[in-house]
A = this chain, B = another copy of it.
Amino acid sequence: MQHTWRCAIRVADLGEFGIIARIVGRLPQFPAVLLGPGDDAAVLRAPDGRVVVTTDLLLEGRHFRRDWSSAYDIGRKAAAQNLADVVAMGADPTAIFVGLGLPGDLPTAWLDGLTDGFGDECALVGASVAGGDISSSEQIVLGVTALGDLGGRAPVTRSGARPGQVVAVAGRLGHAAAGLALLLAGREELPYPELVDAHRRPQPPYGCGPGAAVLGATAMADVSDGLLQDVGHIAKASGVRVELEPQDLPVPEPLAAAAAELGVDPLRWVLTGGDDHALVAVFPADVRLPPEWRVIGRVVEGEGVQVRGHDEPQGGWDHFRE
């Protein structure tokens, strides 16, 4: 009989340089990387003459849990949330850099999964994991920085919304929040695997970011704090008011069904759930949008965000109006 138990190799057995070699060996470098891992710093192409930069800190227990997500999914999600910030500026991601705090007793297989998650998510957009840093840490810490190139386009900031324009969304809303609610309620046995998967691994509509810039978007944000809050950031930065049409907000079947099981309003997930990393953008009223985009409201004079016909329904989102 085969003895199937094996002593897991731990990252501490590899040492710092062994860990780095193991990570680097799993990561291809795309042509934008002129000098990759192994020197004091990396050198990237920045053909536009400008570079877009965003950074996030992800802490075990606070931003992810090893018992809820695989190493691979944690890597994908950590990369995704930074790449989404880059495309939300209308830029094409070029590379990410990862500061890794790892417990010494972490199995190397877990590190490999994390590395592959980072690499595979970046490969979706042709970006490289071009460098990083390793430290010993009691809990896992991920410091992720993503860079992008604007390709000659103006950055699409949060401050360019003007009255008369339309607000549109690309990507999923509320799915990750619904998945998290199922996990928190211990109801992940319910037949909505796409919702729990959405919590574990977002699917930002990457191409829609640079695409929106080409289509003439004048403001854009990635939905990381929830639609109302992120649209609120655009409204505040632009000095305008946004009116959202509730009947235009997407509430697909699994979201409605899961909400019914948990006895909640699915619109709440759609309006306040983050972590799906949809893109919300503002376009001139006469824009012709491809099917990835769905118009959900319009820009008017004033301030704040209103969901038409829902003045303070479940008493939930009034504090998001700023």
Q: Write out the residue numbers on chain B whose beta carbons fall within 8 Å of the beta carbon of A131.
A: 53-55
Taking the full assembly, how many copies of this chain does it contain? 2
Which residue on chain B has the smallest CB distance to residue A100? Answer: B57
Say yes or no: A137 contacts B59, CB within 8 Å: yes
A239 located at the interface, meaning its Cβ lies under 8 Å from any Cβ of chain B in the complex: no
Known contacts A51-B46, A53-B97; decide if A148 and B41 are in contact (CB<8 Å). yes
Which secondary structure dominates where chain A touches chain B?
strand
Q: Specify which of A43, A53, A95 lies most central, judged by the most chain B CB atoms within 10 Å of its CB.
A: A53
Q: Which of A94-146 contact B (CB under 8 A)?
A: 95, 97-101, 130-133, 135-137, 141, 143-146
Tell me the minimal C-beta distance from A220 to chain B in angstroms: 8
Contact of A43 among B51, B132, B144 (CB under 8 A): B51
Tell me the minimal C-beta distance from A206 to chain B in angstroms: 13
A221 located at the interface, meaning its Cβ lies under 8 Å from any Cβ of chain B in the complex: yes
Binary CB contact string for chain A from 47 to 66 against chain B (1 if under 8 A, 0 otherwise): 11111111111110011000
Q: How far is the CA of A135 from the CA of B57 in the complex (A)?
A: 7
Segment at the interface with B among A1-9, A81-89, A173-181, A249-257: A81-89
A205 located at the interface, meaning its Cβ lies under 8 Å from any Cβ of chain B in the complex: no
Which residue on chain B has the smallest CB distance to residue A42? Answer: B53
A222 located at the interface, meaning its Cβ lies under 8 Å from any Cβ of chain B in the complex: yes
Known: A56-B99, A59-B137. 10 other contacts (CB 8 A): A35-B157, A39-B89, A40-B84, A41-B52, A46-B50, A53-B145, A57-B133, A62-B135, A62-B136, A99-B145
Known contacts A56-B133, A57-B133; decide if A88 and B143 are in contact (CB<8 Å). no
A241 located at the interface, meaning its Cβ lies under 8 Å from any Cβ of chain B in the complex: no
Q: List 22 A-B contacts (CB under 8 A).
A: A34-B50, A38-B158, A39-B158, A40-B84, A41-B89, A41-B146, A42-B53, A46-B46, A46-B51, A49-B49, A55-B97, A57-B101, A57-B133, A57-B135, A57-B137, A58-B135, A59-B141, A63-B135, A97-B145, A99-B99, A141-B143, A143-B145
Say yes or no: B57 contacts A91, CB within 8 Å: no
Tell me the minimal C-beta distance from A233 to chain B in angstroms: 9
Count residues of chain A with CB under 8 A from any CB of chain B.
Answer: 60
Say yes or no: B55 contacts A44, CB within 8 Å: no
Tell me the minimal C-beta distance from A223 to chain B in angstroms: 10
Known contacts A133-B57, A135-B57, A137-B62; decide if A44 and B50 are in contact (CB<8 Å). yes
Binary CB contact string for chain A from 15 to 43 against chain B (1 if under 8 A, 0 otherwise): 00000000000000000001100111111
Say yes or no: A57 contacts B99, CB within 8 Å: yes
Q: How far is the CA of A144 from the CA of B99 in the complex (A)?
A: 9
Tell me the minimal C-beta distance from A124 to chain B in angstroms: 18
Q: Specify which of A49, A133, A136, A146 lies most central, judged by the most chain B CB atoms within 10 Å of its CB.
A: A133
